[in-house]
A and B are shown apart, each in its own frame.
Chain A
Amino acid sequence: MTRYTGTVTVRLKAGVLDPEAETTRRALERLGFELDDLRVADRFEVDLEADSAAAAEETVAAMAERLLANPTIHDVAVEVTEAA
């Protein structure tokens, strides 16, 4: 078994309204910053032991599918690295 860290990034699908991002963008503009757009995402870092990177990725992807993201509104990206 090897220790891995799975990183799950959950973001709203393109086209789904994101009031949090919009409010944050406006606040940045109020501070004087100029920007074209801003997107918000959640990142989860999961430490786990697995036989291989592929096995770790499978487990973390299942976590994302079953709880961390909602497929109705979210896209998910999963990345696995060997823990330092």
Chain B
Amino acid sequence: MTVAIVRFGGSNCDRDSRAALAALGLDATIVWHEDGLPADATAVVLPGGFSYGDYLRPGAIAARSPILEDVRAAAEAGRPVLGICNGAQIGCESGLAPGAFTANRSGRFQCEHVHLRVENAETPWTAAYDEGDVLELPIAHGEGRFEIDEAGLETLRDERRILFRYCDADGAVTDAANPNGSADNVAGLVGAGPAGNVAVMMPHPERATLPDLGNVDGQGVLRGLG
């Protein structure tokens, strides 16, 4: 099995993702987007970065790259697809997940550690955790504010597709703990795959996976790929 990590011009978390997956014993290959998805790809990572220099909107142009048709087919076939940070923006822009990630409430690029509450532990992405667990993961984004209309948010809640919400260190989901102004503190959600197999999230699990970095809270998310 091989996890395909899709590299666009401007991706910069592709090698981090590969190192993190290797640490978990998951075989992973970086794939240039123009080369298409390899036939033996068992899962897909859309990594973080600044694809196409964030021109137009973050992820907008990468989302229209032909490889996204391959990614969509993989998602529909039930293969795990994980979009992290810019990959999450690409996921929403491509319609693999609902909503949009847009400018932080602060108007600033924010690079910091945040706490996340696990909202649903019955997904491939959160099976390693318990509902209500509090994770600490890094964020590094200027446009991570999740926007969705009220009906769309209701659907996410009803279908239990919210994976993580920003919270304080004790797990309380508060406005003060919301780093970017995301609707309902949503930090990550399940997208359009038939079996909950598509996920997008702004925080970086791959930056909290290698034990040398002192925080392995993100490992459970990446295990959803294998």
Instruction: State the A residues within 8 Å of B (CB).
Output: 16-20, 22-23, 66-68, 70, 72-73
Contact = CB atoms under 8 A, between A and B. Distances in A.
Interface stretch (B29-37, B66-74, B144-152, B191-199): B144-152
Contacts of A67: 56, 60-61, 64
A17 B181 contact: yes
B107 A73 contact: no
Contacts of B64: 66-67
Listed from nearest, the 7 A-B pairs whose CB atoms lie closest are A19-B107, A72-B100, A23-B107, A19-B103, A73-B100, A73-B147, A70-B100
Contacts, number: 36
A63 to B, nearest CB: 11
Contacts of A18: 103
A72 B148 contact: yes
Interface string B43-75: 000000000000011001100100000000000
Nearest to B99: A72
B157 interface: no
Contact of B107 (A16, A20, A68): A20
A61 B181 CA distance: 31
A4 to B, nearest CB: 22
B102 interface: yes
Contacts of A23: 107
B105 A70 contact: no
B217 to A, nearest CB: 29
B106 A19 contact: yes
Contacts of B147: 16, 72-73
A56 to B, nearest CB: 21
Contacts of B181: 17
30 contacts: A16-B102, A16-B147, A17-B103, A17-B105, A17-B145, A17-B181, A18-B103, A19-B104, A19-B105, A19-B106, A19-B107, A20-B103, A22-B107, A23-B107, A67-B56, A67-B60, A67-B61, A67-B64, A68-B56, A70-B60, A70-B93, A72-B92, A72-B98, A72-B99, A72-B100, A72-B147, A72-B148, A72-B149, A73-B100, A73-B102
